[in-house]
Amino acid sequence: MIDKKLLIRAVDISKTFGATKALSGVSFDFYEGEIFSIVGANGAGKSTFIKILCGYYADYEGKIYIDGKLVKFESPRDAYEAGIQVVHQSIEQGIVQNMSVAENLALDMIISPNASFVYDKKKVLKRAKEIASKMDLEYLDMDKNIQDITQSEKQMIIIARALATKPKLLILDEPTSSISDKEAGMLFKTLYKLRDEGVSILYISHYLAEIKKISNRVGVIRDGKFGGLLNQPLEISEIVKAMVGDLESAFERTYDEKDSKKLILELRDLVVQGSSEPLNIKIYSGEIVGLIGLIGAGKTELAETLFGIRRPISGEIILDGKSVKFTNIRQAIKHGIHMVPENRTVNAIIPENSIKNNITLPFLSFFSKYGVLSKKNEIKASKRIIDDMGIKCEGFGALIESLSGGNQQKVIVARWLLMKHNIVILDEPFQGVDIKSRRDISKYLQENTRDSAVLMISSDIDELMDVTDKIMVMNKSKIIWSEKTSEVNRDKLLSLITQE
């Protein structure tokens, strides 16, 4: 029995989509002054439960009580007015394009029914600065367009705006997926403060170390059903077992550095930014190479150069023994360089399209003969990769929006692994992906990189240590350290990443 005030009670919540039962009889209680986390494998029903709580789905079964009174939300506005505030996993859902930083921070004031018809820039700026100060975001240029700031800054703006409303229940869905460790630490301090002030916080994250660190209690959703409750002290192994059962141990690599290897990619004195030092890198067939560094270290710029999005300042890219120059993405793909971008919502997903179309779109010419598309072969290929990657869906024809965030990420990874390639670049491939899905993706990579190579860019040390053969550290657009993963010392790696 918890000695705190019960704020919200969700009882026997169920939700059906067509023939699919997404939730079945899930019940959770939310108390004041606690951080309550919900965990579950991708597709388990976490996002559906959240959307019901915040009024996105009105056609559900079950009951929701707030302060002992039965409520029924017909819209997100109803939930908002009842004190439920949510920060969604997709950053783009939380910002308004073509508005300034200040306007995005003060958005609630601008769109309020009581707002004046006359736009008062000074008033907006004052409110924006008040909100920014709570999360130490005063350094931001308030007049700057929201599109011109980083993903992590956008995420912090959304969180700051949510905190400013002093919600009864604050829901955070994967809040640290696009922010640095330093920013995450700042967020946690704010959450502790809110918790101590009596706010109830629902925290969703696939980073189980975070769950263990900040949660008072953990609720489990497994295959759409209530999977149990865990209390402090929490152990990651217990959380994983409650989520997915006994997870098989990490896939053992049979790749041996002594095997004969082919040089797939070589960078010779490559300069990707004006003030950066030349990069000299060699990646061989069968290798999964990790690249890690803080936000702004130059990782994404390197990936974009290899994929033809930007041109290098100088130097050479040697691919399969030949010097190549790309002026666009199509040329990079033609040479067998594939890339999974960091922000799947903006740069990867094709909305209102099927899973099949999202997988096969870059390679339609491969499924065509004399300009005629063979849908039979296209479907066959997409079904194969869906099965191999363990994508949880109703079928290849289902809309991509019907999938959980983690399964959407699997689709985007599957797209670029579908066809033969020389090297696939994965930029933060495990954002919003649970431990089981991470293992599924990792196992597929490890089993299918004998004749090609993988460059995996991540800001998560544990992810890279679990998957890669070699890790490189980038700092200020320079490779400052490179070592076999089996020889990596985690503390040393952390020190290198964070050094000035």
Note whether 358 and 349 are within 8 A (CB): yes
Q: Do domains 6-244 and 263-498 have the same CATH topology?
A: yes
Mean pLDDT of 64-78: 93
The answer for residues whose C-beta is within 8 angstroms of residue 15's C-beta and 6 or more apart is 21, 22, 23, 45, 48, 52, 57, 59, 60, 61
Q: Where are the domains of the chain?
A: 6-244, 263-498
Q: Which of 87-96, 310-319, 397-406 tops mean pLDDT?
A: 310-319
When mean pLDDT is compared across 17-31, 176-190, 306-320, 440-454, the lowest value belongs to 176-190
State how far the Cα of 354 lies from the Cα of 388, in Å rounded to an integer.
Answer: 18
- Reply yes or no on whether the pLDDT at 92 is more than 80: no
pLDDT for the residue 431: 73
- Reply yes or no on whether the pLDDT at 315 is more than 80: yes
pLDDT for the residue 322: 92
Mean pLDDT of 260-266: 85
Give percent helix, percent strand, percent coil of the chain, each to the nearest 5: 35, 25, 35
The answer for residues whose C-beta is within 8 angstroms of residue 262's C-beta and 6 or more apart is 284, 285, 451
**Domain 6-244 coded CATH 3.40.640.10:** no
Question: What is the average pLDDT score of the chain?
Answer: 86
Mean pLDDT of 331-335: 92
State how far the Cα of 38 lies from the Cα of 378, in Å rounded to an integer.
Answer: 37
pTM, entire model: 0.66
The tens digit of pLDDT for each residue in 213-231 reads 999 999 999 988 999 999 9
- Reply yes or no on whether the pLDDT at 258 is more than 70: no
pLDDT for the residue 362: 86
- Reply yes or no on whether the pLDDT at 331 is more than 90: yes
When mean pLDDT is compared across 214-218, 384-388, 435-439, the lowest value belongs to 435-439
Domain 263-498 maps to which CATH number in 3.40.630.40, 3.20.19.10, 3.40.50.300, 3.10.580.10?
A: 3.40.50.300
Which residue carries 């040697």 as its tokens? 318
Mean pLDDT of 241-266: 65
State how far the Cα of 7 lies from the Cα of 170, in Å rounded to an integer.
Answer: 12
90-111 burial: b if 16+ Cβ within 10 Å, else e: bbeebbeeebbbbbbbbbbbbe
Between the alpha carbon of residue 76 and those of residues 57, 161, 221, the distances in Å are: 9, 16, 23
Which residue carries 């002290």 as its tokens? 233
Assign 31 a pLDDT band (cuts: 50, 70, 90). very high
State how far the Cα of 71 lies from the Cα of 13, in Å rounded to an integer.
Answer: 13
pLDDT for the residue 250: 44
pLDDT for the residue 137: 86
Note whether 242 and 63 are within 8 A (CB): no
170-190 burial: b if 16+ Cβ within 10 Å, else e: bbbbbbbbbbbbebbebbbeb
Higher pLDDT, 327 or 247: 327
Q: Which of 190-194, 282-286, 460-464, 477-481 tops mean pLDDT?
A: 282-286
State how far the Cα of 269 lies from the Cα of 263, in Å rounded to an integer.
Answer: 17
Token duo for residue 383: 């079904």
Assign 60 a pLDDT band (cuts: 50, 70, 90). very high
pLDDT for the residue 500: 64
pLDDT for the residue 2: 67
Dihedral sign from CA coordinates of 360, 361, 367, 372: positive
The tens digit of pLDDT for each residue in 104-145 reads 999 888 888 777 778 888 999 999 999 998 777 888 999 999
